[in-house]
């Protein structure tokens, strides 16, 4: 099958809320899913958005989360994967140079875990 940008239609299908969409190959990432999610970490509520984008040039998905705690500290994570979950990084207050390696595990269509050096956080999504 030809990978001519902007012309080839492909279908992505997987069993989780993170990976289900039809998409058209184009030069930019296509948003597949976006959800409001939250977790409690060290007694603090953290809320934000998790989105999944299709990266047509690498035929993978980017899972990106952007969260804030009650003091407006910014927490972000990113996983590049072709399956429901994978290995990526997490950083705080835009300090990507101090990235922490994480593993994201999809549990069901509304729940996922992030495992990192400090422990595991379970996220629930709407």
For 64-114, write each residue's pLDDT tens digit: 999 999 999 999 999 999 888 899 999 999 998 899 999 999 999 899 999
Segment 8-25, tens digit of pLDDT: 222 222 333 443 333 344
Q: How far apart are the first and last CA of the chain?
A: 37
User: Please, what are the domains in the chain?
Assistant: 9-125 (2.30.29)
* Cβ–Cβ under 8 Å, residues 114 and 123: yes
The whole-number pLDDT of residue 112 equals 96
Q: For residue 106, which phi and psi values (nearest 5 degrees)? A: -80, 125
Secondary structure (3-state) at 97: helix
Segment 32-55, tens digit of pLDDT: 999 999 999 888 999 999 999 999
Q: Which residues contact 119 (CB under 8 A, 6 or more apart)?
A: none
């Amino acid at each position: 099958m030809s990978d001519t940008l902007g012309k080839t239609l492909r279908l992505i299908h997987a069993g989780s809320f993170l990976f289900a969409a039809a998409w058209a190959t184009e030069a930019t990432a296509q948003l597949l899913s976006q959800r409001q999610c939250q977790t409690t970490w060290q007694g603090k509520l953290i809320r934000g958005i998790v989105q999944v984008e299709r990266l047509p040039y690498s035929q993978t998905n980017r899972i990106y989360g952007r969260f804030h705690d009650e003091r407006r500290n910014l927490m972000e994570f990113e996983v590049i994967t072709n399956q429901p979950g994978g290995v990526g990084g997490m950083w705080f207050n835009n300090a990507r140079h101090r990235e922490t390696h994480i593993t994201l595990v999809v549990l069901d269509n509304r729940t996922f875990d992030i495992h990192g050096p400090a422990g595991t956080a379970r996220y629930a999504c709407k």
